[in-house]
Amino acid sequence: MQKGNNLTVGRWCDQWFISNRSKWNGNTEGGYRNLIYSHICPSIGSVELEELTEQTVTDFYNKLRSQRLSARSVWCIHLLLRRCLDEAARDRLIPYNPVRLCPEPQSEEYKSVPLRLGQIQRYLNTAEQLGVLPIVYTGLSGGLRQCELITLSWADFHVRYRYILKSQRLLTLNDKAAHLLEQLPKSNSPYVFLNAKTRAPYLLHEFYYLHKKILKHAKLPWVAFRNLQRQCMEVGL
Protein backbone atom coordinates (compact mmCIF):
# COMPACT_ATOMS: atom_id res chain seq x y z
CA MET A 1 0.00 0.00 0.00
CA GLN A 2 1.11 3.51 -0.76
CA LYS A 3 2.73 5.54 1.97
CA GLY A 4 3.22 9.25 1.93
CA ASN A 5 2.02 12.49 3.45
CA ASN A 6 -0.17 13.36 0.46
CA LEU A 7 -2.36 10.29 0.73
CA THR A 8 -6.05 11.20 0.91
CA VAL A 9 -8.84 9.38 2.70
CA GLY A 10 -10.36 8.44 -0.65
CA ARG A 11 -7.13 7.00 -2.07
CA TRP A 12 -6.46 5.06 1.11
CA CYS A 13 -10.01 3.62 1.20
CA ASP A 14 -9.65 2.65 -2.46
CA GLN A 15 -6.34 0.90 -1.84
CA TRP A 16 -7.70 -0.81 1.28
CA PHE A 17 -10.77 -2.05 -0.60
CA ILE A 18 -8.74 -3.42 -3.52
CA SER A 19 -6.26 -5.11 -1.19
CA ASN A 20 -8.93 -6.84 0.91
CA ARG A 21 -11.79 -7.57 -1.49
CA SER A 22 -10.66 -11.16 -2.14
CA LYS A 23 -11.29 -11.96 1.55
CA TRP A 24 -15.00 -11.13 1.41
CA ASN A 25 -18.02 -12.87 -0.05
CA GLY A 26 -20.02 -11.20 -2.80
CA ASN A 27 -22.59 -9.55 -0.53
CA THR A 28 -19.95 -8.12 1.80
CA GLU A 29 -17.86 -6.82 -1.10
CA GLY A 30 -20.88 -5.17 -2.70
CA GLY A 31 -21.93 -3.57 0.58
CA TYR A 32 -18.46 -2.20 1.28
CA ARG A 33 -18.15 -0.93 -2.29
CA ASN A 34 -21.38 1.02 -1.94
CA LEU A 35 -20.43 2.54 1.42
CA ILE A 36 -16.97 3.60 0.26
CA TYR A 37 -17.70 4.90 -3.22
CA SER A 38 -21.21 6.26 -2.67
CA HIS A 39 -20.74 7.88 0.73
CA ILE A 40 -17.21 8.04 2.15
CA CYS A 41 -15.28 9.11 -0.96
CA PRO A 42 -17.73 11.78 -2.19
CA SER A 43 -17.86 13.44 1.26
CA ILE A 44 -14.41 13.17 2.84
CA GLY A 45 -12.39 11.45 0.11
CA SER A 46 -10.40 14.59 -0.71
CA VAL A 47 -9.29 15.15 2.91
CA GLU A 48 -5.62 14.44 3.54
CA LEU A 49 -5.36 11.25 5.57
CA GLU A 50 -3.09 12.91 8.14
CA GLU A 51 -5.50 15.85 8.50
CA LEU A 52 -8.62 13.80 9.22
CA THR A 53 -9.90 14.69 12.70
CA GLU A 54 -12.60 13.53 15.07
CA GLN A 55 -14.59 16.68 14.26
CA THR A 56 -14.35 16.05 10.51
CA VAL A 57 -15.71 12.54 10.98
CA THR A 58 -18.49 13.73 13.30
CA ASP A 59 -19.50 16.42 10.78
CA PHE A 60 -19.52 13.72 8.10
CA TYR A 61 -21.96 11.60 10.12
CA ASN A 62 -24.19 14.62 10.74
CA LYS A 63 -24.21 15.36 7.01
CA LEU A 64 -25.28 11.79 6.26
CA ARG A 65 -28.13 12.12 8.77
CA SER A 66 -29.21 15.41 7.23
CA GLN A 67 -29.43 13.60 3.89
CA ARG A 68 -31.89 11.21 5.58
CA LEU A 69 -29.54 8.24 5.38
CA SER A 70 -30.82 5.55 7.72
CA ALA A 71 -29.34 5.19 11.20
CA ARG A 72 -28.34 1.66 10.25
CA SER A 73 -26.37 2.88 7.21
CA VAL A 74 -24.56 5.57 9.22
CA TRP A 75 -23.60 2.93 11.78
CA CYS A 76 -22.28 0.62 9.04
CA ILE A 77 -20.23 3.47 7.55
CA HIS A 78 -18.77 4.17 10.99
CA LEU A 79 -17.72 0.53 11.45
CA LEU A 80 -16.21 0.31 7.97
CA LEU A 81 -14.31 3.60 8.26
CA ARG A 82 -13.01 2.61 11.69
CA ARG A 83 -11.78 -0.72 10.37
CA CYS A 84 -10.18 0.86 7.32
CA LEU A 85 -8.36 3.53 9.31
CA ASP A 86 -7.23 1.03 11.93
CA GLU A 87 -5.03 -0.42 9.20
CA ALA A 88 -3.74 3.03 8.28
CA ALA A 89 -2.74 3.56 11.92
CA ARG A 90 -1.20 0.09 12.08
CA ASP A 91 0.87 0.90 8.97
CA ARG A 92 1.91 4.20 10.63
CA LEU A 93 0.36 6.36 7.96
CA ILE A 94 -1.44 8.22 10.75
CA PRO A 95 -0.50 8.46 14.44
CA TYR A 96 -3.94 7.26 15.59
CA ASN A 97 -7.39 6.47 14.23
CA PRO A 98 -9.64 9.55 14.75
CA VAL A 99 -12.78 7.44 14.17
CA ARG A 100 -12.12 5.69 17.48
CA LEU A 101 -12.55 9.03 19.25
CA CYS A 102 -16.05 9.50 17.81
CA PRO A 103 -19.15 8.27 19.67
CA GLU A 104 -20.54 5.24 17.88
CA PRO A 105 -23.73 6.20 15.99
CA GLN A 106 -26.96 4.56 17.04
CA SER A 107 -27.69 1.61 14.77
CA GLU A 108 -31.37 1.20 15.57
CA GLU A 109 -33.71 2.88 13.19
CA TYR A 110 -36.81 1.16 14.57
CA LYS A 111 -38.35 1.39 18.00
CA SER A 112 -37.89 -1.88 19.85
CA VAL A 113 -41.00 -3.70 21.02
CA PRO A 114 -40.47 -5.82 24.17
CA LEU A 115 -41.13 -9.50 23.51
CA ARG A 116 -43.34 -11.66 25.69
CA LEU A 117 -41.81 -14.69 27.39
CA GLY A 118 -43.37 -17.02 24.85
CA GLN A 119 -41.90 -14.96 22.03
CA ILE A 120 -38.46 -15.04 23.62
CA GLN A 121 -38.68 -18.83 23.72
CA ARG A 122 -39.72 -18.86 20.07
CA TYR A 123 -36.69 -16.72 19.26
CA LEU A 124 -34.41 -19.20 21.06
CA ASN A 125 -36.07 -22.20 19.40
CA THR A 126 -35.53 -20.61 16.00
CA ALA A 127 -31.89 -19.86 16.82
CA GLU A 128 -31.46 -23.53 17.71
CA GLN A 129 -33.08 -24.62 14.43
CA LEU A 130 -30.67 -22.36 12.54
CA GLY A 131 -27.72 -23.83 14.44
CA VAL A 132 -26.71 -20.59 16.17
CA LEU A 133 -28.13 -21.04 19.67
CA PRO A 134 -24.72 -21.06 21.47
CA ILE A 135 -23.69 -17.57 20.35
CA VAL A 136 -27.19 -16.15 20.74
CA TYR A 137 -27.86 -17.64 24.18
CA THR A 138 -24.42 -16.70 25.48
CA GLY A 139 -24.97 -13.15 24.28
CA LEU A 140 -28.45 -12.84 25.76
CA SER A 141 -27.67 -14.40 29.13
CA GLY A 142 -24.10 -13.28 29.76
CA GLY A 143 -24.31 -9.50 29.52
CA LEU A 144 -21.64 -9.26 26.83
CA ARG A 145 -21.46 -6.37 24.42
CA GLN A 146 -21.87 -7.51 20.82
CA CYS A 147 -18.29 -6.59 19.95
CA GLU A 148 -17.14 -8.72 22.90
CA LEU A 149 -19.42 -11.60 21.99
CA ILE A 150 -18.21 -11.99 18.41
CA THR A 151 -14.54 -11.82 19.43
CA LEU A 152 -14.69 -14.22 22.35
CA SER A 153 -11.75 -16.59 22.46
CA TRP A 154 -11.45 -19.87 24.29
CA ALA A 155 -8.95 -18.15 26.57
CA ASP A 156 -11.76 -15.86 27.79
CA PHE A 157 -13.86 -18.79 28.99
CA HIS A 158 -13.53 -20.68 32.21
CA VAL A 159 -16.44 -23.05 31.70
CA ARG A 160 -15.61 -25.28 34.66
CA TYR A 161 -15.95 -22.32 37.02
CA ARG A 162 -18.85 -20.77 35.10
CA TYR A 163 -17.40 -17.39 34.19
CA ILE A 164 -16.09 -15.27 31.32
CA LEU A 165 -13.28 -12.77 31.72
CA LYS A 166 -13.51 -10.26 28.89
CA SER A 167 -12.23 -6.69 28.65
CA GLN A 168 -11.40 -6.80 32.37
CA ARG A 169 -15.03 -7.64 33.15
CA LEU A 170 -15.97 -10.81 35.03
CA LEU A 171 -19.29 -12.24 33.80
CA THR A 172 -21.07 -15.29 35.17
CA LEU A 173 -22.26 -18.15 32.96
CA ASN A 174 -25.51 -19.89 33.83
CA ASP A 175 -25.79 -23.68 33.58
CA LYS A 176 -27.37 -23.72 30.13
CA ALA A 177 -24.77 -21.37 28.64
CA ALA A 178 -21.96 -23.45 30.13
CA HIS A 179 -23.53 -26.63 28.73
CA LEU A 180 -23.89 -25.15 25.25
CA LEU A 181 -20.26 -24.03 25.28
CA GLU A 182 -19.05 -27.42 26.46
CA GLN A 183 -20.88 -29.05 23.54
CA LEU A 184 -19.33 -26.84 20.87
CA PRO A 185 -17.02 -28.70 18.48
CA LYS A 186 -13.39 -27.75 18.92
CA SER A 187 -11.52 -26.14 16.04
CA ASN A 188 -8.07 -24.78 15.36
CA SER A 189 -9.41 -21.25 15.68
CA PRO A 190 -8.80 -19.38 18.94
CA TYR A 191 -12.28 -17.88 18.57
CA VAL A 192 -15.32 -19.57 20.05
CA PHE A 193 -18.03 -18.51 17.61
CA LEU A 194 -17.38 -18.77 13.88
CA ASN A 195 -19.60 -17.78 10.99
CA ALA A 196 -20.52 -21.05 9.27
CA LYS A 197 -20.20 -19.42 5.84
CA THR A 198 -16.83 -17.71 6.27
CA ARG A 199 -15.31 -19.93 9.00
CA ALA A 200 -14.12 -16.68 10.60
CA PRO A 201 -15.43 -14.70 13.57
CA TYR A 202 -18.63 -12.79 12.88
CA LEU A 203 -18.33 -9.16 11.86
CA LEU A 204 -20.74 -6.81 13.61
CA HIS A 205 -22.92 -6.34 10.54
CA GLU A 206 -23.02 -10.13 10.02
CA PHE A 207 -24.23 -10.64 13.57
CA TYR A 208 -26.84 -7.92 13.08
CA TYR A 209 -28.20 -9.75 10.04
CA LEU A 210 -28.11 -13.05 11.92
CA HIS A 211 -30.29 -11.56 14.66
CA LYS A 212 -32.59 -10.08 12.04
CA LYS A 213 -32.83 -13.47 10.30
CA ILE A 214 -33.84 -15.19 13.53
CA LEU A 215 -36.60 -12.62 14.14
CA LYS A 216 -37.84 -13.04 10.58
CA HIS A 217 -37.91 -16.85 10.71
CA ALA A 218 -39.62 -16.74 14.10
CA LYS A 219 -42.14 -14.19 12.74
CA LEU A 220 -41.39 -11.78 15.56
CA PRO A 221 -41.47 -7.96 15.60
CA TRP A 222 -38.23 -6.01 15.51
CA VAL A 223 -36.34 -5.74 18.78
CA ALA A 224 -32.72 -4.63 19.06
CA PHE A 225 -30.42 -7.37 20.30
CA ARG A 226 -29.16 -5.32 23.23
CA ASN A 227 -32.75 -4.55 24.29
CA LEU A 228 -33.64 -8.23 24.04
CA GLN A 229 -30.52 -9.00 26.07
CA ARG A 230 -31.60 -6.54 28.76
CA GLN A 231 -35.06 -8.10 28.86
CA CYS A 232 -33.66 -11.64 29.07
CA MET A 233 -31.37 -10.72 31.95
CA GLU A 234 -34.26 -9.08 33.81
CA VAL A 235 -36.35 -12.27 33.64
CA GLY A 236 -33.37 -14.47 34.49
CA LEU A 237 -32.90 -16.30 31.18
Same domain, residue pair 73 and 172: no
Give the domain-ending residue among 67, 101, 135.
Answer: 101
Same domain, residue pair 224 and 129: yes
Region of residue 222 (left: phi > 0; alpha: psi -120 to 50; beta: else): beta
Q: How far apart (Å, rounded) are the C-alpha atoms in residues 207 and 153?
A: 16
pLDDT of residue 234: 80
Residue 79 belongs to what domain range? 9-101
pTM as predicted: 0.58
Q: Residue 124 falls within a domain, yes or no?
A: yes
Same domain, residue pair 96 and 125: no
Residue-wise pLDDT tens digits, 37-71: 999 999 999 999 999 999 999 999 999 988 888 78
Q: Which residues contact 64 (CB under 8 A, 6 or more apart)?
A: 39, 43, 73, 74, 77
Q: What is the mean pLDDT of residues 141-166?
A: 77
What distance lies between CA 49 and its chain's CA centroid? 24
Q: Which residues contact 82 (CB under 8 A, 6 or more apart)?
A: 97, 99, 100
Same domain, residue pair 63 and 132: no
Q: Is the distance from CB of 173 to CB of 137 less than 8 angstroms?
A: no
Q: Residue 106 falls within a domain, yes or no?
A: no
Residue-wise pLDDT tens digits, 72-130: 788 889 989 999 999 999 888 998 999 988 887 876 544 567 889 999 999 999 999 99
Q: At what angle do helices 54-66 and 71-90 cross, to 10 degrees?
A: 160
What rounded mean pLDDT belongs to the chain?
A: 85
Q: Residue 1 falls within a domain, yes or no?
A: no
Same domain, residue pair 97 and 121: no
Q: What is the mean pLDDT of residues 196-221?
A: 89
Count of structural domains within the chain: 2
Same domain, residue pair 80 and 128: no
pLDDT of residue 166: 66
Same domain, residue pair 95 and 26: yes
Q: How far apart (Å, rounded) are the C-alpha atoms in residues 58 and 72?
A: 16
Q: Residue 112 falls within a domain, yes or no?
A: no
Q: Residue 66 falls within a domain, yes or no?
A: yes
Any idea what the CATH number is for the domain that residue 17 is in? Answer: 1.10.150.130
Asked whether the CA dihedral 237, 168, 202, 75 is positive or negative, the reply is: positive
Same domain, residue pair 129 and 225: yes
